Chains A and B, each alone.
Chain A
Amino acid sequence: MDKNNINKTSDLQSLYDAKLSDTDFDKLSKYIQGEYGIKMPPEKRVMLQSRLQKRLRALNIASYSDYVKYAFGNNSSEEIIHMIDVVSTNKTDFFREPSHFDFMKNEILPEFYANSPTKHFKVWSAGCSSGEEPYTIAMVLSEFALQNASFDYSIFGTDISTIVLKKAFDAIYPLTAVDVVSLEMKKKYLLKSKKKGDNLVRVIPTLRNKTKYGRLNFMAPSYNVTEMYDLIFCRNVLIYFDRDNQERVINKLCENLKPGGYFFLGHSESITGIKVPLKHIQPTVFRKL
């Protein structure tokens, strides 16, 4: 720490007093919604202001209007990425909505294993956040592999936020996050930190090798994904989009889903009223026509 502390404190004070103006909010809201699909109605204004504060602090900018100028200025693309990082909501857990994993284990995998010539199961976790979902999938698939010879899998994780993607890539989590993981699985698939008091765990390299990550904006005209997948997880990410965009996104995702491949949505999502090539199997479980 240096003698700049006094200045920093008063700068912080003015930063915390700063407010997001109507025009700036409009501009940002239109942009985020248009380019990234994330809904940003007036009710979300406080949330946006709170989340952008992180960027103001990082850049040492004291007012939102200055930030908006900077973000849409010459260094646009870099700052926009950071902005989307802080604006996007990333909430995820290990073994979240376990019914999906049970269904996968009991219904999807046996059928696949019986019918597939390659026995290589490809999964896409669209909206993978900080990696809990892909690694959960990996654990379940590894378990299946133990029981079924020559079964292999690969997992592709995408998200809009680079921060969480890095976390996914590093695969380091607090001990509390893996409370839901059974001790048996912990022993098999996790490493714990040598430093006492750290309370950190890391996914073992074998699993990590089976995953790869990339940044994907659902609103992009083309996803540049070449693989065809057997199962796509798209859980609790479409809730941030409006209906038209939901339809668009699901359709695009389905382009990379094999016929008969499965599609998982989040617990509050549905395809009612939207035209997609999926048929309803059970709530939040769908199959490509």
Chain B
Amino acid sequence: MKNKFSIGTKLLIPTSVVILLLIIIMFPIMKGLKNKNIKTQATVQAENVRNYFNATISASQQEALQISSSFAIMKDVKKAYSIDDINDSKHFIRTALSPEITHYKNLSGLGDDLKLHFHTKDLHSLWRSWKKQGDNDGGDDLSGSRNSIKDVVNTQKPIKTIEMGVSGFVIRGISPIISNGEYLGSVEAIFTIDKVNTQIKLNEDENLCIFSKIKNFNISAGINRYDSVGRYLIISEKKGVEINPELKDALRSYDETSMKFIKTGDVVQFLFPIYEYEGGDVIAVGCYSYNTEMIANSILSLQKTLLIFVLIGLFVIFGIIIIMGRIAITKPIQIINKDLKIISDGNLLHKMSYTKDDELGLLVKELSLTFASIRKVFTSVNKANGDLRRASEHLNYTSQDVSQGASEQAASVEEVSASMEQMSANIEQNVSNAKKTEKEVYMAAAAVFEGNKVVRKTTDLMKLVSEKIVVISEIAKQTNILALNASVESASAGEFGKGFSVIAKEIRQLAEDTQSAAVEIVKSTSSGVTSAEKAVSQLANIIKQMENSSEMIKQIVVASTEQKNGVDQVTNGIEQLNKITQQNAAVAEEMATSSEELAGQSEALAESISQYLFSDGKGLNEELLENEQEKGDGKVVAKEKVYKETQLISDDKPKIDDNTGFSINLGKSDLDNDNDFERF
């Protein structure tokens, strides 16, 4: 099984990385080493060449000196110097030395390279052996340029030197010519740089060139024939030398004391000072250049071979490590992992199969013990949870009931409270009505009383009238008698009394009418009085009754007020009760919700526990909750929620159209959804 982070990979990746890093590091290191190697090698080579070069120069100088000193003691030479005329002297010396010179040319192998220059004691050139006759072969003044000859004149000792002259880099050996203690002049043998160059054998990848500062030239003539590099002129070069910027820079800053290393790509160059003579001044700068390409390649191939061997070695070692790792670590761990997977999938009873007696075996032993403890824990948790589940389910239903009951109770109490308030309001209404009635009764009583007064007055008036009527009746009686008398008198008056008797009759009639009227009046009056008196007494009764009513109404008001007070007390009490009841209802709901959650959590715990197999035999508990089914591997099915009457059958929410008047859409009609119900 290939796992992303297997041990093998763990071993492989770092080692691969290490190898990769090594390889990556190797390159610069190798390059550095190569370069160092090259430098070292080249340095050694350069030093060798430099030494050889210097030695060759010294040797040449020595040879030049030898040659010049040989000539300095020749008799013919001394004889030539005794000739006064310089031309004659020249002519003599030319002729006399010709065979000697030829002999030396052959003997030394120098051939025409053998150059001799004779000088007079007053620093004039006497004869140059290599010049043709008449071709500037002598006679010129050397005092301006030839300091070396001056030295010989002064010291009368031979010197070896290098000079930059007309012919460039020349090696000179100058010997004084002395005869009988008298300084006659000097002679020098001259070698050009070619002599040195021919002797120095270089490989294809090597080159040697010589620079010299312009100031070293004692003659300005002929400088133009040399190429310049800064203050230096290129005096000599074995093969063409490439003047690259590095060389330029190096020359510019060269201190002419020690060897300077310049690297330009594959070409390394060394600058070294060339002294006039041992212990003398620097007359030129040598440049040994070496194309390191080839040795670089050889070093590189050597390094590559080494590297390959090292890498192979490393691979082998790591390979062994990885394989051993696989065998001793990875495989056992895979076995253990298989077992652990079975356990983590839920089967805590599974036994682990790795039993070897090594560290991993010990690990397995400890794991097994751990799982045994875990099984114990699961068992006790499961048992406890079983109890908890039962209890919390019970609590859940109970608190749902309590909550339901509390809600209903709260609604009831609220209704009672509202009813009480209504009653209280009604009573108040009654009281106010009663008070109004009382006022009206009082006013009516007052009116009646007033009426009574009026009636009394009427009675009195009537009595007065009847009294007056009696008087009138009397008067009428009297008038009647008078009229009677008058008619009698009138009768006695005869004719003249006819009119009078008519009048008397009339008067009598009137009096009778008056009397009967008076009688009527008296009748009416007395009945009126009787009625009035009845009325008075009845009114008096009425007033009494009204007073009674008023009293009763007062009592009603008082009683109603007391009643209202009583009702208000009860209302207050109910209100208090109501507050508490409402709160209780809310608290009961809290409880119901909390216990529902508790039941739910307990169930969730049971669910998660049921994923595991941790006790021997089927099932988890001896007692299972109602409505649970067990499966073979110990998983349980959760109990279905019982329909609570607070739930609605239809899932459609009622849609409210508007807030004025009525409007409602109660969703689908479920008239045909009576499947859950049956007849009584």
Contacts and interface: CB of A to CB of B under 8 A. Distances in A.
Interface in A207-240: 208-209, 213-217, 220-225, 236, 238-240
Contacts of A239: 415, 418-419, 421-422
A215 B659 CA distance: 9
A186 B643 contact: no
A153 interface: no
B316 interface: no
Interface string B419-431: 1111101100110
Nearest to B430: A272
A39 B424 CA distance: 15
B419 A267 contact: yes
A50 B586 contact: yes
Interface in A187-219: 187, 190-195, 197-198, 200-202, 205, 208-209, 213-217
B674 A205 contact: yes
A5 B597 contact: yes
Contacts of A174: 645
B578 interface: yes
B643 A198 contact: yes
Interface in B399-429: 408, 410-412, 414-415, 418-423, 425-426, 429
A125 interface: no
Nearest to B572: A43
B583 A173 contact: no
A71 B628 CA distance: 44
Interface stretch (B154-162, B331-339, B457-465, B647-655): B647-655
A268 B417 CA distance: 11
Given A170-B649, A214-B663, A222-B660, A268 B678 contact: no
A89 B589 contact: no
Contacts of A53: 586, 589
Given A12-B594, A91-B411, A269-B422, A216 B661 contact: yes
B680 A162 contact: no
A35 B645 CA distance: 31
Contacts of A192: 677-680
A1 B603 contact: yes
Given A50-B582, A162-B656, A187 B679 contact: yes
B579 A47 contact: yes
Interface in A48-98: 49-51, 53-54, 57, 77-78, 80-81, 89-91
Interface in A130-158: 158
A77 B659 contact: yes
A208 B671 CA distance: 8
B496 interface: no
A53 B584 CA distance: 12
A118 to B, nearest CB: 24
A205 B645 contact: no
B645 A173 contact: yes
B660 A205 contact: no
Contacts of B579: 43, 46-47
B676 interface: yes
A270 interface: yes
B433 A273 contact: yes
Interface in A257-289: 266-270, 272-273
B414 A47 contact: yes
Contact of A172 (B429, B590, B645): B645
A162 to B, nearest CB: 5
Contacts of A50: 410, 582-583, 585-586
B604 interface: yes
A27 interface: no
A71 to B, nearest CB: 14
B575 interface: yes
Interface in B162-183: none
Contacts of B649: 170, 172
A12 B419 contact: no
Interface string B592-622: 0110010011011000000000000000000
B582 A46 contact: yes
A196 B678 CA distance: 12
A91 B674 CA distance: 26
A247 to B, nearest CB: 12
B5 interface: no
B664 interface: yes
A120 interface: no
Interface of A: 1-2, 5, 8-9, 12, 16, 35, 39, 43, 46-47, 49-51, 53-54, 57, 77-78, 80-81, 89-91, 158, 162, 165-167, 169-170, 172-174, 183, 186-187, 190-195, 197-198, 200-202, 205, 208-209, 213-217, 220-225, 236, 238-240, 243, 266-270, 272-273
Interface of B: 408, 410-412, 414-415, 418-423, 425-426, 429-430, 432-433, 575, 578-579, 582-583, 585-586, 589-590, 593-594, 597, 600-601, 603-604, 642-643, 645, 648-650, 654, 656, 659-664, 666, 670-671, 674, 676-680
By Cβ-Cβ distance, the 3 closest A-B pairs, closest first, are A224-B661, A268-B419, A191-B677
9 contacts: A47-B414, A49-B586, A51-B582, A191-B678, A194-B677, A213-B664, A216-B662, A272-B430, A272-B433
